[in-house]
């Protein structure tokens, strides 16, 4: 009997995916030259699977700010925000995030994962409720495990189902925190936010929107789907990450409720971890300025994903979302086809993501392509052409 026996099945599954040359899971990337180019297996590839939606990873102001902070403040803070790890930099970033939303309170966490863990598990405690969309990200489910609250799931993007769950709670719905995402990262679909807001108001519940994939992408100032829908006055909390549009590492929770600040005193994922490094925070601050003023970047990103969606649909591919967005999840009939197509794309010089269960909802096998503002028209054509070569196989599989 070994402690490692229980990993046998996942190791087997991983090994099965490792065949055919390059590993399709945790693919080794030898180097990265820009927001859109890297080297895999000694060959230059077009990066088409990142979350680098605004393409800011190599932005000069971001690199300059990070480098300056690295040399002036050192490599790490070596401590928690509650002890020696709260520099002016961290507080300034919190102030800038709060100002961006026009709200009084923001808290920075060390990762986006911890932002969900820290916010959800602390906001909803014993005797209260976490009401989660069934397609929620793992960090939301893990927060529910850490929380003492009762967890209730509702059907993905289904307002009627949410309404029924809250009705069953009766007056207790007033201590329920509903959690939805601004853009679901596997299928690339968006929630019916207006309907959810109407339901939460009717039941007197609370609403948190995780804008991890929508921050920087939607809304005039890039604040996310909530801004784009004109609903900033209607939600209670927004969670976001620095690791996607902001091209760094870390996360945040921002709120119109000034009492949010008290959460710092009780949130274990906030307290019992080191604060983000000075370089990380300084780079994020520079990226945030570009995000807020990034109408041109957003315009290019939207142009890219609208063109890509139109082309892939015209080729007969089925996508995880009807509405175009930065995540294009191409549905594959089975794991073998998905893997073969992933390899074919790489052969054509396009590095996409292979997404398979348990990471995906409903047991789906996906080729997940994500668009960036840094992709040129030619880059988007390269992706479209690579998919064009696979199209007959995909069409065959759809009608088979
Ligand atoms: C919806 C959602 N929330 C939170 C996170 C966690 O963010 P991070 O990777 O920055 O820790 C992710 C990451 O993919 C996500 O998709």
**In this predicted model, what pLDDT tens digit does every residue of 235-252 receive, in sequence order?**
999 999 999 999 999 999
Q: Tell me which DSSP letter residue 277 carries.
A: P
The string of pLDDT tens digits covering residues 103-115 is 999 999 999 999 9
Do β-strands 37-40 and 43-47 pair in parallel, antiparallel, or remain unpaired?
Answer: antiparallel
Quote the pLDDT of residue 380: 98
Q: Can you tell me which residue has the tokens 């207790």?
A: 172
Q: Is 181 in the pocket of ligand 1 (CB under 6 A)?
A: yes
User: Per mean pLDDT, which range of 73-77, 143-147, 335-339, 346-350 is the poorest?
Assistant: 335-339
Atom number in ligand 1 closest to CA 114: 11
Ligand 1, from 109, 243, 249: best to mutate by most atoms within 8 Å of Cβ? 243
- Would the CB of 241 count as within 6 Å of ligand 1? yes
pLDDT-based confidence at residue 23 (cuts at 50, 70, 90): confident
Q: How far does the centroid of ligand 1 lie from the alpha carbon of residue 113, in Å?
A: 5
Give the whole-angstrom CA distance, residue 212 versus residue 210: 6
- Residue 113 near ligand 1, beta carbon < 6 Å: yes
342: left (phi over 0), alpha (psi -120 to 50) or beta: alpha
Residue nearest to atom 9 of ligand 1 (CA): 112
pLDDT band at 18 (very low <50, low <70, confident <90, very high): confident
Are residues 342 and 352 in contact, defined by beta-carbon separation less than 8 angstroms? yes
Q: Which atom of ligand 1 is nearest to the CA of 111?
A: 11
Secondary element (H or E) of residue 207: strand 206-210
d(CA 349, CA 352): 10
210 Cβ inside 6 Å of ligand 1: yes
| Residue among 4, 28, 385, 54 at smallest CA distance from 246 | 54
Q: What is the pLDDT of residue 399?
A: 43
pLDDT of residue 306: 98
* 275/81 Cα distance (integer angstroms): 6
Going from the Cα of 385 to the center of ligand 1, the distance in angstroms, rounded, reads: 30
- pTM for the full predicted model: 0.96
Strand partners, 153: 132
Average pLDDT over residues 174-191: 97
């Amino acid at each position: 009997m070994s402690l490692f026996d229980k990993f046998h099945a996942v190791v087997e599954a991983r090994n099965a995916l490792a065949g055919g040359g390059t590993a399709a899971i945790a693919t080794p990337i030898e180097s990265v030259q820009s927001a859109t180019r890297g080297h895999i297996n000694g060959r230059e590839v077009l990066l088409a699977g990142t979350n680098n939606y605004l393409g800011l990873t190599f932005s000069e102001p971001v690199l300059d700010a990070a480098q300056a902070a690295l040399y002036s403040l050192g490599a790490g803070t070596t401590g928690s925000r509650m002890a020696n790890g709260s520099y002016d930099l961290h507080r300034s970033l919190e102030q800038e995030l709060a100002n961006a939303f026009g709200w009084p309170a923001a808290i920075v966490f060390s990762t986006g994962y911890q932002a969900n863990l820290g916010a959800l598990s602390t906001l909803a405690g014993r005797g209260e409720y976490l009401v989660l969309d069934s397609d929620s990200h793992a960090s939301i489910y893990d927060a529910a495990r850490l929380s003492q609250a009762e967890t209730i799931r509702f059907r993905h993007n289904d307002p009627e189902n949410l309404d029924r769950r809250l009705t069953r709670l009766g007056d207790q719905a007033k201590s329920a925190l509903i959690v939805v995402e601004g853009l679901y990262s596997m299928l690339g679909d968006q929630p019916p936010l207006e309907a959810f807001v109407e339901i939460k108001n009717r039941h007197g519940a609370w609403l948190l929107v995780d804008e991890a994939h929508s921050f920087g992408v939607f809304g005039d100032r890039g604040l996310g789907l909530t801004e784009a829908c004109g609903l900033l006055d209607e939600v209670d909390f927004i969670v976001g990450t620095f690791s996607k549009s902001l091209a760094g590492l870390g996360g945040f929770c921002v709120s119109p409720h000034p009492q949010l600040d008290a959460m710092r005193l009780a949130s274990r994922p906030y307290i019992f971890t080191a604060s983000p490094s000075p370089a990380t925070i300084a780079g994020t601050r520079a990226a945030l300025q570009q995000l807020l003023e990034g109408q041109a970047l957003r315009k290019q990103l939207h142009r890219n994903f609208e063109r890509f969606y139109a082309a892939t649909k015209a080729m007969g591919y089925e996508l995880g979302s009807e509405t175009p967005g930065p995540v294009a999840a191409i549905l594959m009939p089975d794991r073998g086809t998905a893997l073969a197509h992933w390899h074919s794309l790489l052969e054509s010089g396009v590095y996409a993501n292979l997404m398979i269960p348990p990471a995906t909802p409903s047991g789906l096998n996906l080729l997940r392509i994500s668009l960036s503002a840094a992709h040129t028209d030619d880059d988007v054509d390269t992706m479209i052409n690579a998919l064009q070569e696979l199209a007959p196989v995909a069409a065959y599989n759809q009608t088979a």
